[in-house]
Chain A
Amino acid sequence: DIQMTQSPSSLSASVGDRVTITCRASQNIGNFLNWYQHTPGKAPKLLIYAASILQNGVPSRFSGGGSGTDFTLTISTLQPEDFSTYYCQQTYRSRTFGQGTKVEIK
């Protein structure tokens, strides 16, 4: 199984901050890496696919990078609606998720 490790598991930030979440795969997954936002009570939302491509309708303050084993999700200017939990997902072999990163209000 391919293991996905996110860091940090949680972070506190303020509106307007720049936030970066990292995701590491246990083996090379190329660019088969997706990012989702999950707010309790809502359906998860696809933000980034193929490591760096912004899903239609997602604000441009979200960006993704990396390839191989190390990936990042960056929110350039945190907005109130961005306080949520973020998950990476590999789809290179089967599909597995990271454990999530909760972004909380400082």
Chain B
Amino acid sequence: QLQLQESGPGLVKPSETLSLTCSVSGGSIRNRSYYWAWIRQPPGRGLELIGRIYDSGTTFFNPSLESRVTISADTSNNHVSLRLSSVTAADTAVYSCARGRDSSVYAYSFDFWGQGTLVTVSS
């Protein structure tokens, strides 16, 4: 069974860079049938896609975050990373990673998710 686990600092200071890792077990991230995404949920609000990365290395980002986001894949360690720079309190959220099925047959749905990790931006 595929499992995704997010990890990283739970507290980040304003203006610094948030860095998270999504460790994948039970399957390889190197698979053309899937892509990998980061999603966040600010307190009391809904889900927001941050961005996604494909097996080719191609990335797409939420336009509202694009200038500050980097998503990368480390196939050697089987994990996907997120970096969000110049954070503010508005970036406080639960950050989750998910696997997407890269096929219109599956409507590109996310079939596995991590539990998420809370990141608070505060001095």
Question: Is A103 in the interface zone, CB < 8 Å from B?
Answer: no
A95 near B115 (CB under 8 angstroms)?
A: no
A97 near B107 (CB under 8 angstroms)?
A: no
Supposing A43-B115, A44-B113, A97-B46 touch, asked if A31 and B96 sit within 8 A by C-beta, the answer is: no
Question: Is B84 in the interface zone, CB < 8 Å from A?
Answer: no
Q: Indicate the size class of the contact surface on chain B.
A: 20 to 34
Question: Is B37 in the interface zone, CB < 8 Å from A?
Answer: yes
Q: How far is the CB of B82 from chain A (nearest CB, A)?
A: 16
When chains A and B are docked, how far (Å) is the Cα of A99 from the Cα of B46? 5
When chains A and B are docked, how far (Å) is the Cα of A55 from the Cα of B52? 22
Closest B residue to A87 by beta carbon equals: B47
Which listed residue, A31, A34, A42, A46, touches B115 by the CB 8 Å rule? A42
A97 near B49 (CB under 8 angstroms)?
A: yes
A interface, by DSSP: helix, strand, loop or mixed? Answer: loop
Which residues of the partner chain A approach B47 to less than 8 Å between Cβ atoms? 38, 44, 87, 89, 97, 100
Inter-chain contact count A-B, CB under 8 Å? 65
Q: How far is the CB of A92 from chain B (nearest CB, A)?
A: 9
B106 near A87 (CB under 8 angstroms)?
A: no
Question: Is B109 in the interface zone, CB < 8 Å from A?
Answer: yes
Chain A residues 64 to 106 lying within 8 A of chain B, measured CB to CB, are 87, 89, 91, 94-100
Q: How far is the CB of A99 from chain B (nearest CB, A)?
A: 4
Closest B residue to A33 by beta carbon equals: B107
Q: Which residues of B contact A (CB under 8 A)?
A: 4, 37, 45-49, 52, 60, 62-63, 96, 98, 101, 104-116
The 4 A-B residue pairs with the shortest CB-CB distance, nearest first, are A49-B109, A91-B108, A50-B107, A97-B47
